[in-house]
């Protein structure tokens, strides 16, 4: 199946718009970014609420990521999500928990996703998604080495709560998908005093897309792209390529622009159960330090598939 030309034009337009937004100059010193994933293609609901329920059945996923292993205070992330279509035609619901630790800072997000899907052709569907979230922020200033007495750093922040909302659009067929989203729209500032901004929520703009080629009855090839734009931080572009053999074994590689190279392995233990692992190696100066042993990631996903007639092969996204 060939991707319609209007889809390609739409993709180029969205990509250009996101890049333009990311290049707009701002005076933000502290740009807080969302958690980073190498296996984003299996964790789409975390970045785009329009994905909720799009698999056609209940799906549960759990991911753990340890970044820059060996480096003290390096990021560690865990996610748990569940999403499913519900009884009302076209409606999907999801719930996610994301726990992210970096140095003395810990954040936990509780997300609720809602999507509504509309068929736009014999093969394509568009889903409109909304995300509501609660963020809990902890900052342990007491763990920092303070060489000067700074009164603004004397009191820890415990369970600072802030709400947020997000939105996304997700288009997909059996072989192609394209999504744009902003998981957190409100730019909330967390202040310890009038002179210190501990963290500021920034809008993270995402574009995600992929296509599955069936090279032969036993081999599928899926290239994917994830672009993230956040004001005050470099543009992030993740390119990946995965091969699926006999609907069971997955082998892939990824490149994070000017940052890292990655290898990925996956295995469908059954039509319902996927396990995937990834390893990143920095290509920056950080990767050459003896304190950085790379980044590791593992994901588990279980789909509650109800067999009706002939069961399709496991979906590649």
pLDDT at residue 152 greater than cutoff 60: no
Which element (helix H / strand E) includes 169? strand 157-172
pLDDT-wise least confident of 2-11, 124-133, 141-150, 180-189: 2-11
Tokens (6 digits) for 292? 């950085």
pLDDT-wise least confident of 75-79, 154-158, 170-174, 180-184: 154-158
Given a contact cutoff of 8 angstroms between Cβ atoms, the answer to whether 152 and 2 are in contact is no
Q: Determine the pLDDT at residue 156.
A: 73
pLDDT at residue 226 greater than cutoff 90: yes
- Which whole-number Å values give the CA distances from 167 to 52, 127, 131, 133, in the listed order? 12, 11, 6, 11
pLDDT at residue 22 greater than cutoff 50: no
Q: What is the mean pLDDT of residues 159-170?
A: 93
- Rounded to whole angstroms, how far apart are CA atoms 173 and 122? 9
pLDDT tens, 87-109? 778 999 999 999 999 988 899 99
CB neighbour burial string for 263-296, b if at least 16 within 10 angstroms, e if fewer? ebebebeeeeebebebbbebeeeebeeeebebbe
CA 24 to mean position of chain CA atoms: 23
Please name each of the domains of the chain with its CATH number: 49-141+155-191+207-306 (2.40.160.40)
More confident residue, 132 or 17: 132
Q: Determine the pLDDT at residue 83.
A: 97
Q: What is the mean pLDDT of residues 165-185?
A: 96
Residue 2 DSSP code: P
How much is the mean pLDDT over the chain?
A: 83
* Percent of the chain with pLDDT strictly greater than 90: 59
pLDDT-wise least confident of 153-162, 228-237, 257-266, 307-316: 307-316
Q: Determine the pLDDT at residue 200.
A: 67
Q: Determine the pLDDT at residue 33.
A: 67
Q: What is the mean pLDDT of residues 253-278?
A: 95
Half-sphere exposure of 184 (CA within 13 A, CB side): 26
How crowded is residue 147: how many other Cβ atoms within 10 Å of its Cβ? 6
pLDDT at residue 42 greater than cutoff 60: yes
Q: Determine the pLDDT at residue 26.
A: 32
Q: Determine the pLDDT at residue 44.
A: 95
pLDDT tens, 120-145? 999 999 999 999 999 998 887 776 66
């Amino acid at each position: 199946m060939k991707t319609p030309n209007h889809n390609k034009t739409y993709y180029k337009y969205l990509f250009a718009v996101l890049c333009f937004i990311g290049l707009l100059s701002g005076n933000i010193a502290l740009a807080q970014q969302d958690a980073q994933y190498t296996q984003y293609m299996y964790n789409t609901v975390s970045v785009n609420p329009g994905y909720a329920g799009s698999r056609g059945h209940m799906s549960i996923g759990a991911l753990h990521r340890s970044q820059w292993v060996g480096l003290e205070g390096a990021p560690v992330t865990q996610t748990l999500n569940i999403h499913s279509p519900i009884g009302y035609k076209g409606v999907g619901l999801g719930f996610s928990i994301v726990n992210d630790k970096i140095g003395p800072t810990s954040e936990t997000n509780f997300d609720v996703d809602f999507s509504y899907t509309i068929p736009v052709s014999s093969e394509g569907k568009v889903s409109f998604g909304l995300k509501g979230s609660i963020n809990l922020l902890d900052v342990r200033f007491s763990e920092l080495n303070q060489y000067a007495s700074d009164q603004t750093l004397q009191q820890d922040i415990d369970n600072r709560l802030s709400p947020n909302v997000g939105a996304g659009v997700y288009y997909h067929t059996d072989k192609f998908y394209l999504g744009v989203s902003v998981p957190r729209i409100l730019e909330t500032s967390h202040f310890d005093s009038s002179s210190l901004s501990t963290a500021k929520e920034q809008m993270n703009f995402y574009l995600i897309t992929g296509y599955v080629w069936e090279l032969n009855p036993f081999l599928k090839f899926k290239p994917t792209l994830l672009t993230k734009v956040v004001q005050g931080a470099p543009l992030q572009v993740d390119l990946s390529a995965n091969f699926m053999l006999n609907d069971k074994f997955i082998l892939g590689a990824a490149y994070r622009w000017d940052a890292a190279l990655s290898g990925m392995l996956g295995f469908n233990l059954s039509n319902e159960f996927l396990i995937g692992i990834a390893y990143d190696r920095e290509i920056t100066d950080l990767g050459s330090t003896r304190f950085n042993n790379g980044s590791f990631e593992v994901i588990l996903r279980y789909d509650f598939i109800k067999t009706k007639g002939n069961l399709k092969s496991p979906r590649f996204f």
